Amino acid sequence: MNIISSTYSSKNDIHSAFYRLKNLANQTPFPSAEDRQYCLARLQVALMDHETALLDALQKDFGQRAHEESRLIELVPLLSEIKHAKRHLVKWMKPSKRNVHISTLPASAKVFYQPKGVVGVVSPWNYPVLLSLGPLVGALAAGNRVMMKLSEFCPETNRVLRDIVNQALAEDWIEVIEGEADIANEFSKQPFDHLLFTGSTSVGHIIMRNAAEHLTPITLELGGKSPLLVAPSADLRDTAKKLVFGKALNAGQTCVAPDYILCQADQKLTLIEQIKQELAVYYPEGVLSPDYTNLINIRQLDRLKGYLDEARAAGVMCDNLMPQGPEESDGKLALHVLHQPDDRLSVMQDEIFGPLLPILTYTDLSDALFYIQQRPRPLAMYLFTQQNDDQRRCEENIASGSLVINHTLVQVAQADLPFGGIGASGMGAYHAEEGFRTFSHSKSVLRKRGPNVLGLLRPPYGRRIHRLVAKYWRWL
C-alpha cells in the first residue's frame, strides 16, 4: 500500500495535491460500499492503535491536558461516529424512491447519492483529533477523497494524525496539509467539491469569500455565544454540576461551551455557590490541579486576561471561582464569574472560548428569551428547567444549532444527531446521516417507459391542444 506523509508548504504543492486527488476521484467516481467500509474499518483500527501516542501528543501540545479528558472528549465520540457510519452506510447509500407525476407515467424516479469528489477540511486547534478525523468519517462514508488542513498550533498531535492516516488510508484517499495562516488561506482557494471549516467567525468570513470564487459548497462550523438559561423551576445543584462539566472541560476551549448564564436574581448567589462547590470537587487545588487543562498558548491567555482587565476597568465585579489556588499559573487561568457585564464589553461581544463566565439576571422568562432572540444565533442553547412548557418555548422561539435540556456538551457525542450552526454560528451540518448527505450530491434520476403522453401536447398549438390543456389544468 502506497501512503503519503509529506508536509505541503507552498501554493504549487497544494495545487498539485488537489488535482492529483481530483484525477483519482474522476477515475473512480463511485467507490463501492465495501471500499468505503474498508476505509472506515482501517481508520478505526489505526485510531485505537495510536491511542496512547495521541494522548501523549495532546498533553504536549496543550502543556497540560489529562489523558482521561482527551479520551472522553476526542476519542470516544470519534470512535462512536466511525462505528455508527459503518453500521448504517449501506442504508444511507441506498437510493430513495420518489413519486412521479401522473402526466409522466409510466416512469420511475429516485434520488441517487453520489460522492461530490474532493472534500476539503480545515480543522481547529481546540479538538485537533475529533474535528479533523470527525469530518473525515462522513466524507469517506460518502465516497470522497479528502484534503485536510491541520492546525499549526498542534504539531505533536499532527505528527500522530499523519501516522494514523498513513496506517489506515492509501494515498488514493487523502492528503494532509500543514502550515501557517497563509497556507490555510491558499488551501481554501482550491476548487473543492465541498469545503468544511471549523473555527472562528472572523476566519469563516475569509473562508467563505475564498470558496465563493469557485462556487464551492461550504459547511461552516463556527461558534458564537451559547447561552445557558436557568428557568425558575431549575434544580440549581444539578444545574451547577452540568454547567461545570460543560464550562471547565478543556478549560472552556469548546465551541459549544456555555458562554454566559441567564438566571433570576434570587437564584444567582445560590447558583454561584453551587458552582464553586462543584469546582472544588473537580479541581481541589484550583488551577494547580493536574486535571485542569492549560490554555493552548500565551496569545489565548492574554486575550482572556484582556477581557478581565476591560471588565474590571468598567466597574464589573469579577470573582475567581477557584480560590484554592492562584488566579493563573503556567498557562492556566481560573474560572471567573463576571457579574452583569455591559453588552458593549468585549467579553459580551466575542466568543469567550475560555474559563470566563458572565452571569446576567432576568425578571421574567420572556425577558430572557427576548434577550437571546436579539443576539446572533448561537451554536448551542442550554436550558435548565423542570417544566415542559419552557422546553416548548425554547424549541419554537429560539433559533440555535442545538438545544440541550438539563445538560451541557453531550449533544456533540451523539452519533445519530447532526451537528451544525445557524446564522452567525455557521451553516450546514455533519455527523450521522446528515454528514453523509452533506458530502453527497443528491442526484435526481427519472426513467421513462412506454408511450409519451406529453407528446400529444406538441406544437402546433391548435384548438385541440387548447382543450386538452384546459382539461388538464382543471384536473390538477
- pLDDT score for 449: 87
- pLDDT score for 475: 64
Confidence label for 457 from pLDDT (cuts 50, 70 and 90): low
The alpha carbon torsion through 420, 246, 83, 42 (nearest 10 deg) reads 90
Nine-digit cell string for 194: 465541498
Instruction: Give the residue-averaged pLDDT of 296-313.
Output: 96
The alpha carbon torsion through 319, 321, 326, 332 (nearest 10 deg) reads -100
Of all residues in the chain, what percent carry a pLDDT higher than 70? Answer: 96
Question: Over 80: is that where the pLDDT of 468 sits?
Answer: no
- List the single range of 98-102, 215-219, 328-332 with lowest mean pLDDT: 98-102
Find out whether 222 and 199 touch, Cβ atoms under 8 Å. yes
Please tell me which residue in 69, 74, 221, 278 is annotated as part of the active site.
221
User: Which one is the CATH code of 11-222+427-443: 3.30.300.180, 3.30.70.20, 3.30.10.20, 3.40.605.10?
Assistant: 3.40.605.10
As a whole number of angstroms, the distance between CA 229 and CA 372 comes to 9
3-class DSSP assignment, residue 239: helix
- pLDDT score for 5: 38
Task: Tell me the sheet residues that pair with 263.
Answer: 361
Confidence label for 9 from pLDDT (cuts 50, 70 and 90): low
Instruction: Give the residue-averaged pLDDT of 272-279.
Output: 97
Q: What are the CA-CA distances from residue 280 to residues 175, 334, 335, 448 (Å)?
A: 45, 12, 11, 70
Is residue 221 part of the annotated active site? The answer reads: yes
In tens, the pLDDT along 377-390 reads: 999 999 999 999 99
Residue keyed to cell 454547567: 243
In tens, the pLDDT along 128-155 reads: 999 999 999 999 999 999 999 999 999 9
Domain ranges of the chain: 11-222+427-443, 227-414
Look over the chain and give the mean of its residue pLDDT values, rounded to a whole number.
93
- pLDDT score for 451: 75
- pLDDT score for 203: 92
Question: Over 80: is that where the pLDDT of 458 sits?
Answer: no
- pLDDT score for 13: 82
- pLDDT score for 3: 33
The residues, any chain, with a CB within 8 Å of residue 6's CB and separated by 6 or more, are 13
Instruction: Give the residue-averaged pLDDT of 448-472.
Output: 74
Task: Count how many Cα atoms sit within 13 Å of the Cα of residue 450 in the half-sphere of its side chain.
Answer: 8
Torsional sign, CA 415, 416, 420, 422: negative
Count, residues in the chain = 476
Q: Which CATH superfamily is domain 227-414 in?
A: Aldehyde Dehydrogenase; Chain A, domain 2 (3.40.309.10)
Q: What are the CA-CA distances from residue 333 to residues 218, 244, 297 (Å)?
A: 35, 15, 12
Task: Count how many Cα atoms sit within 13 Å of the Cα of residue 329 in the half-sphere of its side chain.
Answer: 16
Confidence label for 8 from pLDDT (cuts 50, 70 and 90): very low
Of all residues in the chain, what percent carry a pLDDT higher than 90? Answer: 86
Instruction: Give the residue-averaged pLDDT of 425-432.
Output: 94
Report the run of H or E that residue 452 belongs to, with start and end.
none
- First-to-last alpha carbon distance for the chain, in angstroms, is 59
More confident residue, 63 or 102: 63
* Residues 253, 53, 139: CA angle, nearest 5 degrees: 65
Find out whether 145 and 24 touch, Cβ atoms under 8 Å. yes
In tens, the pLDDT along 230-260 reads: 999 999 999 999 999 999 999 999 999 999 9
Q: What is the pTM of this model?
A: 0.92
Nine-digit cell string for 283: 479541581
Question: Over 50: is that where the pLDDT of 6 sits?
Answer: no
- pLDDT score for 450: 81
